[in-house]
């Protein structure tokens, strides 16, 4: 929250993601050198061989998927950024944790959306064939969220910090409205 520029899109990515990629690569080198395990850093996009990072985070015991459709951790709420790597090792799985702060929450994240992406149910278990729905209850309209992202792109301006570059400041209202990290 105090460093919003870490999430500003600068044409090829964000400063925060660049840092995570560097850390992931350094950990990969360390694991291979010190532990003798082969590693493979995974790209973010599924189309490039990546994985669903939020779901992997839940299965790794990092938190739960919140009503805002974001990974919500005990310590950082939804203010979590993820990268992943494959390890050539048999590790004991952690599994999901018993952590669900959204159960009794008054849902401030759902009402701040400028596009009303959480206003109505758009996903149904019977139609999708499974019970785990986006936004936990099917009330997350990815299309409306993407409309806001397109608006943010249209509103992007030049920011001077060394090089002049067009910077997109994507909407993060649902993330910042979440009180989870402030409850710890």
Q: What is the pTM of this model?
A: 0.83
Residue 17: count of CB within 10 angstroms of its CB: 18
Q: Which residue has the tokens 């048999």?
A: 90
Contact between 135 and 118 (Cβ < 8 Å): yes
The predicted structure's pLDDT at residue 164: 67
Q: In degrees, to the nearest 5, what angle opens at C-alpha 14 toward C-alphas 150 and 139?
A: 45
The secondary structure of the chain as a DSSP string is ---GGGG-B-SS-BHHHHHHHHHHHHHHHHIIIII---EEEEPSSGGGT---HHHHHHHTTSEEE-TTSSEEETTTBT-----EEEESS--------S--TTTT---HHHH--TT-TTSS----HHHHTSS-BTTBTS---HHHHHHHHHHHHHT-EEEEESEEEEEB----HHHHH--HHHH-
Residue 169, Ramachandran bin (φ over 0: left; ψ between -120 and 50: alpha; else beta): beta
- Give residue 165's pLDDT: 74
Name the nearest CA neighbour of 72 among 105, 48, 45, 41.
105
pLDDT at 184: 47
In order along its 184 residues, the chain shows pLDDT tens digits of 788 889 988 878 899 999 999 999 999 999 999 999 999 988 878 898 889 899 889 988 999 999 999 999 998 999 999 999 999 988 887 888 888 999 889 999 999 999 999 998 887 888 877 777 677 788 888 899 999 999 998 888 766 556 667 789 999 999 999 998 765 4
Cβ-count burial of 77 within 10 angstroms (0-12 exposed, 13-18 middle, 19+ buried)?
Answer: buried
Structure token digits, residue 60 = 């790794």
């Amino acid at each position: 929250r105090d460093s919003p520029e870490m999430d500003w899109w600068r044409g090829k990515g964000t400063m925060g993601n660049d840092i995570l990629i560097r850390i992931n690569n350094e950990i990969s080198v360390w694991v291979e050198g010190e532990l003798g395990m082969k590693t493979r850093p995974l790209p973010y996009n599924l189309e490039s061989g990546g994985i669903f990072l939020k779901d992997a985070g839940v299965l790794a015991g990092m938190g739960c998927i919140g009503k805002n459709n974001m990974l919500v951790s005990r310590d950082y709420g939804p203010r979590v950024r993820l990268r992943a790597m494959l390890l050539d090792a048999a590790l004991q799985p952690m599994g999901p944790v018993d952590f669900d702060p959204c159960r009794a929450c008054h849902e401030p994240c759902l009402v701040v959306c400028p596009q009303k992406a959480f206003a109505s149910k758009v996903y149904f278990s019977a139609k999708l064939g499974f019970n785990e729905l986006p936004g936990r209850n099917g009330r997350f309209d990815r299309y409306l969220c993407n409309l806001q992202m397109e608006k943010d792109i249209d509103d992007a301006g030049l920011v001077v910090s060394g090089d002049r570059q067009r910077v997109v400041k994507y909407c993060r209202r649902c993330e910042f409205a979440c009180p989870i990290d402030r409850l710890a």
